[in-house]
Amino acid sequence: AIDGAVFFEKTPGDDVMGMILENTDKVDPRDYDIAFSALPSSVAKDVEARFAKYIPVFSTASAYRYEDDVPVLVPEVNSGHVKLVDAQRANRGWRGFVVPGPNCTTVGLVVSLKPIFDAFGVKTVRMVSMQSLSGAGEKGLRADSPYRKKVEMNVYPWIEGEEEKVVKETNKLLGKLVDGRVVEAGIDVHATCTRVYVDRVHTEVVDVVTERPATLEGIRAALEEFRSEPQELDLPTNAAWPIMVLDDVDMPQP
Ligand SMILES: NC(=O)c1ccc[n+]([C@@H]2O[C@H](COP(=O)([O-])OP(=O)(O)OC[C@H]3O[C@@H](n4cnc5c(N)ncnc54)[C@H](OP(=O)(O)O)[C@@H]3O)[C@@H](O)[C@H]2O)c1
């Protein structure tokens, strides 16, 4: 087993066990073409900057999400924001860059909102999330973790910083790039985020007030017909359509 690994129930296969683990302090980014970072944000700020000086860094951490020259990217929603990378390189003197993805609850929300936003405009969003334990990382999934015990057979209504992230990131992602900066979408977003005793997959209940009149059929068509740049590019690991509309009375379920 890997020293300190507490997460796997079984020893992983050779593809994982054969990987070389190195302390990030000892890694010279110039030896690599690209970096994927899944670090706690407190650590990501320094480590990602050190790498971005030389190579592109794609990150799950929130460390850089709210900086003006950093796009938070969801390819189905705002691929045009990638142009911010030029400003980022110029501002910081980096040869690489940092491009973070959004918070895990925001990603599903913005993909679902995007077709409605484009077709009808969006004034107000009220969302309640039921987020799985996987969203808390290792501490959510490890059987003996105190955090998991708190959520066991429970609904736990406190995910630090999550509601603020949903508000900020939704407006940044649906914002427009004007003169090299993102003008936020100006949506009045209200978020209540809870952790539930489900291992994987977040579920959300979302009320939307549109700017222009919308019918149920119109919303349904906008969601079902939605295709975006990843579909146009026919990327190999991409879903053929980003949104599925389900009619069963007991769906969706995680
Ligand atoms: N889980 C999700 O669904 C999700 C979704 C979106 C974004 N994020 C973000 O993605 C990041 C990772 O989340 P996670 O859920 O994967 O967390 P996690 O399970 O707690 O994993 C964090 C990892 O970072 C490593 N680490 C900590 N300090 C380090 C350092 N100084 N140098 C190198 N590695 C270090 C940890 O290694 P050790 O175990 O050896 O300490 C651990 O493997 C966080 O910023 C989180 O907010 C997570």
In this structure, which residue's CA is closest to atom 41 in ligand 1?
4
pLDDT in tens, 123-132: 999 999 999 9
Show the domain range for 70.
14-100
Domain-located, residue 253: no
Domain-located, residue 241: no
Domain-located, residue 95: yes
The pLDDT of 225-243, averaged and rounded, is 90
Residue pair 185/122 in contact by the 8 Å Cβ criterion: yes
- Is the pLDDT at 1 greater than 50? The verdict is no
In this structure, which residue's CA is closest to atom 12 in ligand 1?
38
Domain-located, residue 185: yes
pLDDT of residue 8: 67
Residue 114: CATH number of its domain: 3.30.360.10
Domain identity same for 51 and 109: no
Indicate the residue type of 192.
T
Domain identity same for 201 and 148: yes
Which two tokens mark 53? 């000086």
9 versus 49: which is more confidently predicted?
Answer: 49
pLDDT in tens, 170-183: 999 999 999 999 99
213 CB-side CA count, 13 A:
1
Centroid of ligand 1 to alpha carbon of 90 (angstroms): 29
Domain identity same for 53 and 131: no
Alpha-carbon span 209 to 218, nearest angstrom: 14
Domain-located, residue 5: no
Domain identity same for 157 and 190: yes
Work out the pLDDT band at 107, boundaries 50, 70, 90: very high
Centroid of ligand 1 to alpha carbon of 137 (angstroms): 7
pLDDT of residue 150: 96
- Is the pLDDT at 7 greater than 70? The verdict is no
Alpha-carbon span 116 to 34, nearest angstrom: 35
Residue pair 125/189 in contact by the 8 Å Cβ criterion: yes
Pairing of strands 181-183, 56-59: unpaired
- Is the pLDDT at 81 greater than 70? The verdict is yes
- Is the pLDDT at 211 greater than 50? The verdict is yes
Centroid of ligand 1 to alpha carbon of 39 (angstroms): 4
The pLDDT of 32-46, averaged and rounded, is 96
Last residue of a domain, one of 41, 73, 100: 100
Domain identity same for 72 and 110: no
Last residue of a domain, one of 77, 100, 123: 100
The pLDDT of 175-201, averaged and rounded, is 97
Work out the pLDDT band at 6, boundaries 50, 70, 90: low
Work out the pLDDT band at 3, boundaries 50, 70, 90: very low
pLDDT of residue 236: 84
The pLDDT of 144-148, averaged and rounded, is 93
Alpha-carbon span 190 to 69, nearest angstrom: 26
Last residue of a domain, one of 55, 79, 100: 100
Domain identity same for 84 and 110: no
Domain-located, residue 90: yes
Burial 111-131 (b: 16+ CB within 10 A, else e): bbbbbbbebbebeebebebbb
Alpha-carbon span 164 to 52, nearest angstrom: 26
Domain identity same for 53 and 150: no
Domain-located, residue 32: yes
- Is the pLDDT at 167 greater than 90? The verdict is yes
Catalytic residue set: 104, 202
In this structure, which residue's CA is closest to atom 47 in ligand 1?
61
DSSP 107: H
158 torsion bin: left (phi>0), alpha (psi -120 to 50), beta (else):
beta
Domain-located, residue 60: yes
Task: Please give the tally of structural domains in the chain.
Answer: 2
Residue with tokens 């107000």, as numbered in its chain: 124
Domain identity same for 19 and 111: no
Pocket of ligand 1 (CB under 6 A): 4, 24, 38-41, 43, 60-62, 103-104, 134-135, 137-138
Q: Of 8, 37, 39, 169, which is best to mutate to test ligand 1, by the most ligand atoms within 8 angstroms of its C-beta?
A: 39
Domain identity same for 216 and 109: yes
Residue 64: CATH number of its domain: 3.40.50.720
Domain identity same for 70 and 110: no
Centroid of ligand 1 to alpha carbon of 152 (angstroms): 22
pLDDT of residue 240: 85
In this structure, which residue's CA is closest to atom 36 in ligand 1?
39
- Is the pLDDT at 237 greater than 90? The verdict is no
